Amino acid sequence: MSRGLRRLAAELKQTRPFRSRRQEGTLGLLRTADVVRRAVSAVVEPHGITLQQYNVLRILRGAGPEGLPTLEIAGRMIELSPGITRLLDRLEARRLVARLRCPKDRRRVLCTVTPEGLRLLSRLDAPVQKADDDALRMLSDRQTAALVALLDAVRAGHR
């Protein structure tokens, strides 16, 4: 058993060997994503928003004052969310986003981040950047680049 295999197996309290190296890789990827997600969530949740809500705010800030339609936001999410409307409802209730009908096509709803939402993002920029840095601090720049390339390859294989 490889050292990494023992480490993951120990974390999962698994006594039997993995069925394959690919199973080990898949479980390791899922476990790692959960660890990183919890660390970044710990930064944003004290501000009263979830990681998915933070992601929506970031997407809308990047879109600028023109905003984006709901389905475009959903397509840009890090974690795809079937409940994008409910997510936007919660953000709108907190006055972090605004929604208005598109003047050219009344069926489309455009979403924008509000000044209050921009202030919240501004307060979160540095702590989230630190959480991003901390998440991979144990890797060199070269290892980080290799990780990014490997993750790109896995996602591309699922398109």
Considering the chain, what is the average pLDDT of its residues? 91
Domain spans of the chain, in order of start: 21-156
The pLDDT, as a whole number, for residue 47 is: 96
CB contact set of 58 (below 8 Å; sequence gap of 6+): 121
Per-residue model confidence as pLDDT tens digits over 60-114: 999 999 899 998 999 999 988 778 999 999 999 999 999 988 777 777 889 999 9
Question: Would you say residue 34 has pLDDT above 70?
Answer: yes
State pLDDT tens for residues 105-126. Answer: 777 889 999 999 999 999 999 9
∠ CA 155-12-39, rounded to 5°: 60
Half-sphere exposure (Cβ direction) of 17: Cα atoms closer than 13 Å: 7
Q: Are 88 and 57 in contact (CB under 8 A)?
A: no
Contact 38, 91 (CB under 8 A): no
Report the CATH number of the 21-156 domain: 1.10.10.10
